[in-house]
């Protein structure tokens, strides 16, 4: 059986697994089979005209177009009117995102790069940004070489540092272009609950216990429908997909951090160190300790001690979001200031304490609205709110609908979707 989607490999380079960035040329003459990306990339279209789908939304592509793709985005070239010629930059998003939000963010400002790229993955550039982004792509090419021709220059002084700087420049320019360049009149806003977002949800929530039952409630589909969608799309069972995504993230942490296997097991949702070793060896045909010794790089781009604190803070809020916690009480728990607490959460979740706490509470409320007949007052108290008024206000903020309307709509939608 030929599956709908091609699962792309998890490395940034096809020639060297240690590379965190690569450049390539690509020519596309006809529509292509959908691709599920395990690594991030930017596409700069020099020539051509046609259409491309990203997570089930179709976009017009012309020679002024630049595309940003995040891990576990699904893309498909659906129409080629004129042959596409493009530059492709593949990069380790986890690494670069951490650098941008920690080392480069000297003023501790909010840096929602994931949100910016996710909300506008396709940009039709004006003359200024077409020139700037083309320059960024070419500078990366000159620094890292070209994959398809195997032309790799000798690493210059401070090669890794300069490459990180170039990638940061590219991301910033892309996000600015998304803000400043006009959107096409017919541009569609992606559906929040499209099936393709199942992959991205799993990728973003590996530290949690992810089950078919939980996904069923979140995406309003039956468990069998989700299993069938994953199998028909990727050729993998749900558990195999989960392990595929975990291993892809594990590779990043092995190469760029000094986390112990016990710490990685907690961060990535494994049972324990033995479990992570077993899964890794079955997928990579290499012992996890041997892999780390072979490929771990000296590019320790982020403060590991601070990252460990970040994961502890996020886990604490997740575990206690239904309790009466405040920014002050959580900061005191970790002996940090409220300013530092918000900076850590912005780095890890792209939300400050107040936003992240309410985000978690509203997600819990959604599950209760769908799976129980509890009264609104009881749900509000159960998830951590003192009044229904506060609960409703926050619910509308995150879901753009009242809790009661949400309950009616989801139950109605579920009746339509469950037989699929």
Fill in the DSSP letter of residue 76: E
Task: Tell me what percent of the residues of the chain surpass a pLDDT of 90.
Answer: 36
* Residue 187 within a domain: no
Q: In the beta sheet, which residues pair with residue 97?
A: none
Q: Place 190 in a pLDDT band, splitting at 50, 70 and 90.
A: low
Structural domain boundaries, residue 56: 6-180
Q: Is 338 left (phi over 0), alpha (psi -120 to 50) or beta?
A: alpha
Supply angle C-alpha 210, 195, 393, rounded to 5. 75
Q: Are residues 290 and 323 in the same domain?
A: no
Check whether 189 has a pLDDT greater than 50: yes
Higher pLDDT, 231 or 310: 231
Does 403 score more than 70 pLDDT?
yes
Domain edge (last residue) among 243, 265, 295: 295
374 and 268 fall within a common domain: no
How buried is residue 19: exposed, middle or buried, by Cβ count under 10 Å (0-12/13-18/19+)? buried
Cα 362 from Cα 384, distance rounded (Å): 10
Burial class (CB in 10 A: 0-12, 13-18, 19+), 389: exposed
Characterize the bridge pairing of strands 65-69 and 122-124.
antiparallel
Structure tokens at 10: 């998890």
Lowest mean pLDDT among 181-185, 228-232, 247-251, 355-359: 181-185
Phi-psi group of 245: left, alpha or beta (phi > 0 → left; psi -120 to 50 → alpha; rest → beta): alpha
CATH number of the domain to which 310 belongs: 1.10.10.60
Are 252 and 138 in a shared domain? Answer: no
What span, in angstroms and rounded, lies between the C-alpha atoms of 330 and 139?
44
Higher pLDDT residue, 308 or 150? 150
Q: 155 vs 410, which has greater pLDDT?
A: 155
Mean pLDDT of the chain: 84
**Which pTM does this prediction carry?**
0.69
281 and 222 housed in the same domain: yes
Please determine, for residue 106, whether its predicted confidence score (pLDDT) is greater than 70: no
Q: What is the pLDDT of residues 260-275, one digit of tens each?
A: 888 788 778 888 889 8
Range 91-100 average pLDDT: 81
Q: How far is it, in rounded angstroms, from Cα 221 to Cα 101?
A: 35
In a domain, 194, yes or no: no
pLDDT of residue 235: 81
Q: What per-residue confidence (pLDDT) applies to 16?
A: 83
CA angle 391, 396, 398 (to 5 degrees): 100
């Amino acid at each position: 059986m030929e599956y709908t989607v091609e699962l792309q490999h998890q490395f940034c380079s096809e020639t060297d697994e240690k590379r965190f960035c690569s450049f390539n040329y690509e020519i596309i003459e006809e529509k292509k089979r959908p691709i599920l990306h395990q690594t991030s990339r930017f596409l700069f279209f020099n020539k051509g005209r046609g259409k491309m789908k990203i997570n089930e939304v179709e976009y017009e592509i012309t020679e002024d177009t630049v595309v940003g793709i995040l891990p576990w985005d699904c893309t498909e070239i659906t129409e080629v009117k004129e042959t596409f010629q493009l530059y492709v930059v593949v990069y380790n998003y986890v690494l670069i995102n951490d650098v941008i939000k920690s080392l480069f963010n000297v003023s501790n400002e909010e840096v929602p790069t994931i949100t910016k790229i996710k909300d506008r993955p396709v940009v039709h550039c004006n003359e200024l940004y077409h020139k700037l982004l083309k320059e960024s792509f070419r500078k990366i090419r000159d620094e890292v070489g070209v994959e398809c021709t195997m032309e790799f220059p000798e690493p210059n002084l401070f090669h890794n540092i300069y490459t990180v700087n170039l990638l940061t420049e590219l991301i910033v320019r892309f996000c600015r272009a998304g803000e400043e360049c006009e959107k096409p009149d017919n541009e569609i806003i992606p559906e929040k609950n499209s099936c393709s977002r199942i992959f991205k949800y799993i990728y973003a929530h590996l530290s949690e216990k992810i089950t078919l039952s939980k996904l069923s409630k979140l995406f309003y589909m039956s468990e069998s429908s989700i299993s069938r969608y994953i199998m028909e799309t990727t050729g993998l069972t749900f558990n195999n997909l989960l392990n595929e995504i975990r291993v892809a993230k594990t590779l990043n942490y092995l190469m760029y951090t000094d986390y112990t296997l016990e710490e990685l097991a907690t961060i990535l949702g494994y049972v324990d160190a033995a479990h992570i070793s077993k899964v890794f060896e079955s997928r990579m045909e290499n012992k996890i300790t041997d892999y780390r010794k072979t490929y771990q790089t000296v590019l320790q781009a982020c403060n590991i001690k601070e990252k460990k604190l970040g994961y502890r803070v996020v886990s604490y809020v997740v575990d206690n979001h239904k309790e009466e916690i405040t920014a002050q009480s959580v900061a005191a728990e970790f002996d940090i200031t409220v300013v530092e607490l918000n900076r850590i959460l912005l780095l890890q979740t792209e939300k400050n304490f107040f936003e992240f706490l309410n985000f978690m509470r509203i997600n819990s409320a959604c599950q209760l609205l769908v799976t129980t007949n509890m009264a609104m007052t009881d749900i509000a108290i159960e998830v951590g709110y003192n009044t229904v008024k506060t609960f409703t206000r926050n619910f509308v903020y995150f879901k753009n609908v009242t809790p009661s309307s949400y309950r009616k709509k989801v139950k109605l939608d579920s009746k339509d979707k469950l037989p699929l």
